[in-house]
Amino acid sequence: MLFTVILRIYTLIMKTLKRLGGVNNKCYNKNNITNVKEVISLKEKFIKISTHISSEFKEPEIIINAAELTKEVQELITYISNINSTPSQIIGDKNNKMYFINIEHIVCIFSKEKYNYVRTKEGIYRIKYKLYELEEILNKKDFIRISNSCIININQVENFDISILGTILVNLKDKSQEAVSKRNIVQIRKLLKERGNL
């Protein structure tokens, strides 16, 4: 993840500097970027990028030092701030065609026979994401895991069927039904209680 963040920042900076007047092309890869300490000069302006790897840091931190808040600095701040934000779309494959799928249109995300899929009212799409990866980046107020193999979109739920003791069935708006695993029943009951439904 840290490598991805640094690489994206480099990409943005290179594009910005090239737009301002151009810089010498240089290839950054995984072998040198994690230990990078480069100074990219452009006339009287420069952007210095350095990494400090130490056990004293509990989590990655990005600090931007600048003499003033220029347009380029603001672009960099905005870009970094959005890296871990909830995506609005993900890419899915259906019949060897790639589709942009709006997050809000996802009914559920599930695993089947070693592959992962999203289901919308329009159909089922195979995705490259792992369930735990989507669980981390999707809004937890909208998406909740109900079993090891399924995450549902709360906004796509028609109702929760609790008529059978010790069992919760989720009826979704696309007329499909998913079962809550025993280990997730407590979490779902907590959700229903918080929303005043139980």
Percent of the chain beyond pLDDT 90? 38
Strands (E), 13-141: 37-42, 45-50, 89-94, 97-102, 108-112, 115-120, 123-127
Cβ count within 10 A of residue 106: 25
Predicted TM-score (pTM) of this structure: 0.57
Question: Of the ranges 18-22, 64-68, 130-134, which one carries the lowest mean pLDDT score?
Answer: 18-22
Per-residue confidence (pLDDT) for residue 72, from 0 to 100 = 79
- CA-based radius of gyration for the chain: 22
Q: Express as a percent the part of the chain with pLDDT over 70.
A: 71
Ranges in the chain annotated CATH 2.40.50.1020? 89-194
Condensed to tens digits (0 to 9), the pLDDT of residues 106-122 reads 999 999 998 999 999 99
pLDDT attached to residue 97:
93
Position 144 confidence tier, pLDDT thresholds 50, 70, 90: very high
Q: What's the pLDDT tens digit per position in 6-61?
A: 555 555 555 555 554 444 444 444 344 333 333 333 333 456 777 888 888 888 78
Whether pLDDT at 76 is above 80: no
**Are the beta carbons of 178 and 112 closer than 8 angstroms?**
no
Q: Which residue has the higher pLDDT, 31 or 146?
A: 146
Fold of 89-194: OB fold (Dihydrolipoamide Acetyltransferase, E2P) (2.40.50)
C-alpha span between 146 and 167 (Å, rounded): 12
Q: Cβ distance 153 to 144 under 8 Å?
A: no
**Whole-angstrom Cα distance, residue 107 to residue 91?**
15
Cα→Cα distances 132→3, 58, 113, Å: 19, 22, 17
